[in-house]
């Protein structure tokens, strides 16, 4: 009896010690100072391409731009996008540009806490200092809004932020935006957008039961279990070609929402077009289409397995 209690206590103590260790385990790296000057227009363009406005603006309830509040119902609970206006209390008004860089590129808050990957920072890891400075400059032009963040509604254990630390170790890969030496510049630009800023894989690549993207088996094969019970179609080259997509009509759909069968997008993709890709240049939309429809190029540029894990 006494032994059992002592053993139980030992297990609990060990678990507590382990938990304390995980809690203290630092994530991310300190951001180096960013000294380049940002460009508001370029930053606004990148913000559109990256979906900042689409995800951080609650159009349904007509809440101010970038003030957050959009619900994402995931299999792990419901999260709400935070206020990222420059409000000092409820937004990012007190952040430094280095805080911002660490949040966007590494998914780590100014307090050193890991963000849930509903924030698509895993795609933004290769943003340059210049791109961060541009985004930062653009965010300074946003009206501050005193709208408090909505608390997330997640069951145990997913509501424990420390659970994200092992998650990061297991599933956080570097974005596959590295250019292929022998590829066309437009194909490389498409790769940079598709695998980076535009984060197509967030919805179009299937995930494992822990919410990590399954690159090996599910890359661009669609996802039947998206937040809110939504589905995304496969966008691998074979599927796109089979369904009548061409570079011309795919690039055009990113501007208008029109599909080859005469239908128009709704749901998440409609939002992406209306709040994001319709603001891009014709050249960038074309680059996205070229990359998605050129499997051979993609094959050539496949990163080696050992360099993929970070």
Chain contacts with another protein (rule: CB under 8 A): 39-45, 47-48, 53, 57, 59-60, 62, 64-66, 85, 138-139, 141-143, 230-231, 246, 248-249, 251-252, 255-258, 260-268, 270-271, 273-275, 278-284, 286
CB of 245 to another protein, least distance (A): 11
Instruction: Give 278's contacts (C-beta < 8 A, 6+ positions apart).
Output: 254, 255, 256, 257
CB of 177 to another protein, least distance (A): 18
Distance, in Å, from the CA atom of 99 to the CA atom of 255, rounded to the nearest integer, reads 33
CB of 249 to another protein, least distance (A): 5
Question: For another protein, which is the closer residue by CB, 111 or 263?
Answer: 263
Question: For another protein, which is the closer residue by CB, 71 or 274?
Answer: 274
SS3 content of the chain, % helix, strand, coil (to 5): 50, 10, 45
Question: For another protein, which is the closer residue by CB, 107 or 257?
Answer: 257
Burial readout 125-145 (b: 16 or more C-beta within 10 A, e: otherwise): bbbebebbbbbbbbbeebebb
CB of 56 to another protein, least distance (A): 10
Contact status, residue 254 vs residue 273, Cβ threshold 8 Å: yes
Question: For another protein, which is the closer residue by CB, 162 or 187?
Answer: 187
CB of 278 to another protein, least distance (A): 5
CB of 13 to another protein, least distance (A): 49
Question: For another protein, which is the closer residue by CB, 163 or 239?
Answer: 239
CB of 261 to another protein, least distance (A): 7
Question: For another protein, which is the closer residue by CB, 46 or 79?
Answer: 46
Instruction: Give 206's contacts (C-beta < 8 A, 6+ positions apart).
Output: 213, 214, 217, 218, 221, 222, 223, 224
Contact status, residue 217 vs residue 206, Cβ threshold 8 Å: yes
Question: For another protein, which is the closer residue by CB, 81 or 168?
Answer: 81
Closest to 52 measured CA to CA, from 120, 101, 116 = 120
Burial readout 182-194 (b: 16 or more C-beta within 10 A, e: otherwise): ebeebbbbbbbbb
Helix, strand, or coil here: 114? strand
């Amino acid at each position: 009896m006494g032994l059992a209690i002592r053993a139980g206590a030992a297990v609990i103590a060990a678990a507590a010690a382990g938990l304390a260790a995980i809690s203290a385990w630092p994530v991310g790296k300190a951001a180096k100072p960013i000294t380049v000057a940002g460009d508001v227009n370029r930053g606004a363009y990148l913000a559109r391409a990256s979906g900042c406005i689409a995800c951080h603006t609650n159009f349904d309830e007509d809440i101010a731009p970038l003030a957050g509040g959009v619900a994402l119902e995931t299999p792990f609970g419901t999260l709400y996008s935070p206020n990222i206006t420059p409000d000092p209390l409820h937004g990012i008004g007190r952040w430094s540009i280095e805080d911002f860089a660490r949040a966007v590129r590494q998914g780590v808050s100014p307090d050193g806490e890991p963000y849930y990957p509903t924030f698509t920072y895993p795609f933004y890891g290769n943003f340059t200092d210049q791109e961060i400075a541009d985004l930062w400059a653009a965010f300074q032009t946003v009206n501050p809004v005193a709208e408090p963040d909505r608390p997330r509604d997640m069951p145990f254990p997913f509501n424990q932020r420390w659970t994200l630390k092992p998650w990061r170790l297991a599933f956080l890969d570097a974005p596959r935006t590295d250019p292929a030496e022998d590829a066309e510049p437009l194909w490389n630009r498409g790769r940079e957008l598709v695998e980076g800023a535009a984060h197509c894989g967030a919805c179009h690549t299937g995930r494992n039961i822990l919410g990590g993207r399954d690159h090996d088996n599910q890359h661009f094969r669609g996802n039947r279990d998206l937040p809110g019970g939504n589905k995304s179609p496969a966008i691998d080259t074979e599927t796109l070609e089979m369904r009548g997509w061409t570079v011309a009509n795919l690039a055009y759909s990113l501007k208008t929402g029109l599909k080859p069968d005469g239908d128009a997008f709704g749901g998440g993709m409609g939002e992406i077009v209306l709040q994001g890709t319709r603001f891009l240049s014709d050249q960038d939309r074309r680059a996205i289409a070229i990359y998605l429809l050129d499997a051979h190029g993609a094959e050539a540029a496949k990163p080696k397995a050992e360099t993929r894990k970070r």
